[in-house]
Structure 1
Amino acid sequence: MSPKKSFSEQARWITLGTTTATLSFIAFMVFDEKGSQAASLLILFPMNWEAIFIGSIHRIVGTLMGSACAIIIQALLYTWGDNLIPVTVFYLIAVMLLSAEHLRERSGPAKGFNAVINLCVFYGLKRSGSDVFFSPLYRFSSVLVAIAMVVSCYLSRIINAKS
């Protein structure tokens, strides 16, 4: 268990977390990307780096796995993207593989569960004549940006603690 933080340190971390979450929310509203803001906000929750750290890692990895599967499926089905049968078959195979991963983990809603949820969201976005390639690509890249922001905040905390 980590040592008790002072009031000023707690206030600083709360301010940093709420400012980052608010800026993320504003950016997603300005660019009209409502589908990916939840992923960014879920990743910003572990700003205290204590009890929910492992859960956030599972959410991050699951989001990346589901997004990567959707990107691969869309790349494989590029010319057949309007045909519902191959799209459904590929998504069903991916959901079965990720569900098996979820069962192997035996830890509740971990990586496999989050990957299945992400894949189901992308399948739900699929419409006739639409391309769902950029939505998972955007979610994948936004998660990586959010990870980079959290890691940079954490590294600045470590550097400031040593000085």
Structure 2
Amino acid sequence: MRLWEHPLSENDLRQCVRIACGATLGFTISKIFGWNYGVFFTVLPMLLLGMVPVMSLHAARQLFASGVVCALEVGILGGLFGSHPGLMTLIVFGLFLYKFACMSKGSLFLFGATGVLSLSIMLHFASYPNVDLNELIVGNLLAGTLSVIIAYLVTFLIPDAEPRQPPPRSTEPKGSHRMRHEALLGATLATLSFLVFQVLDLSDSMSAQATTILLLFPMNWNGALGSARKRAMGTILGVTFGLVGQLFLYDWSSLLLLVIPLLWIGTMLFSYLHVKEASGSGVGFGALTTLGILFGQYLTPTNDLMFSALYRIGCIVFAIIVTLLATYLVHRLLNNFEATRYGY
């Protein structure tokens, strides 16, 4: 594991501060205005600032497009075909397929990644009759827009100390067989995840559902295996910090002035781990998103983190095991065909 191999530069430290400030600002704004689905406002800035070291117009367009497209897909397709499980399953597979295809090509990875995560959560919760679909869609759109604004704001206030070198490009482009493998693997498993959470009526397991999607971001078996180990470690770190924070807050979890510094400290610590790893979705990133889900979705004036945090551990560990097993089986199946073989 490359947790401590990457030396931190001044630019890296500034990125850590941007991630911490961006996530905390999104969380704070959603709580001040009393908006529901605080998880979107907390996690989306983490995804954007964590995956894109320097904010750019290309990244902003991808996030905007992802929010709008997901809103149309959930509002129109979910509304028209939500009562037809068989047909809806085929539609969901098609939606996930083109999003993972975008991720596989690379240039639209952020569009596909945020779209897959948002679509999975929104489709699942939109199926419950007590959920206001319009509020869910507006909340996701608003969170995406606010995340872009926040990303530009923190980039302006905390700019890099020196120009960054462009990331190295792969000398060998992906073969079409590999891209088909990655897209089909991701779409199949994301659809299976959607079906399982629907059939078992798991309305209170957002962290486990997000885990099943985040494990698919490498889009191959070896990457998912390594990501699972890191995701499990990150989850334990995020939950542990949440529990320690809850013990500190005791019954003062409704006091925003105490919650905000705790969230900033946690996101700063895990941002440091994320940037130090320099490996995309690793331990630090897993801890970041876990902490964002705990604070954004489950910490309310009438609810503390204690039960939610312990419940998250069991759900996520189970989700990791099942997702890995399904990933291996689908990977082996796709490798049996030359057109969808991962590598020669």
| TM-score bracket relative to the smaller structure | 0.5 to 0.7
Paired with 1:151 and 1:107, the residues of 2 have a C-alpha distance of 20
In 2, are the aligned partners of 1:62 and 1:111 still within 8 Å (CA)?
yes
**Gaps (5+ residues) in structure 1?**
1-16, 154-163
In 1, are the aligned partners of 2:246 and 2:306 still within 8 Å (CA)?
yes
Q: 2:295 aligns with which of 119, 123, 126?
A: 123
1:139 paired residue number: 312
Q: 2:206 aligns with which of 35, 38, 50?
A: 35
Paired with 2:272 and 2:224, the residues of 1 have a C-alpha distance of 24
* Matched ranges for 1:5-154 at <5 A: 21=193, 24-26=196-198, 28=200, 30-36=201-207, 37-40=209-212, 42=214, 49-125=221-297, 126-147=299-320
Describe the superposition over 1:19-61 as per-residue Cα deviations: whole angstroms up to 9, x where unpaired. x847742465x24224132324555899x84343212322222
**Alpha-carbon offset, residue 64 of structure 1:** 2.5
Q: Secondary structure at the match of 2:303?
A: coil
**Would you say how many aligned residue pairs link Structure 1 and Structure 2?**
142
Paired with 1:59 and 1:111, the residues of 2 have a C-alpha distance of 6
In 2 relative to 1, CA 62–100 (structure 1 residues): closer, same or farther, beyond 3 Å? same
Paired with 2:244 and 2:199, the residues of 1 have a C-alpha distance of 27
In 2 relative to 1, CA 128–150 (structure 1 residues): closer, same or farther, beyond 3 Å? closer
Aligned-CA RMSD value: 3.5
Describe the superposition over 1:95-154 as per-residue Cα deviations: whole angstroms up to 9, x where unpaired. 11111111211222311122112212222122333323322222111122335557899x
Instruction: Specify the structure having the higher radius of gyration (Cα).
Output: 2
- AA aligned opposite 2:301: S
After superposing the two structures, state which structure 1 stretch, 124-133 or 100-109, moved more.
124-133
**Gaps (5+ residues) in structure 2?**
1-188, 327-344
TM-score (norm 1): 0.64
Q: Secondary structure at the match of 2:253?
A: coil
Q: Secondary structure at the match of 1:130?
A: coil
Q: Secondary structure at the match of 1:50?
A: helix
**Alpha-carbon offset, residue 63 of structure 1:** 2.3
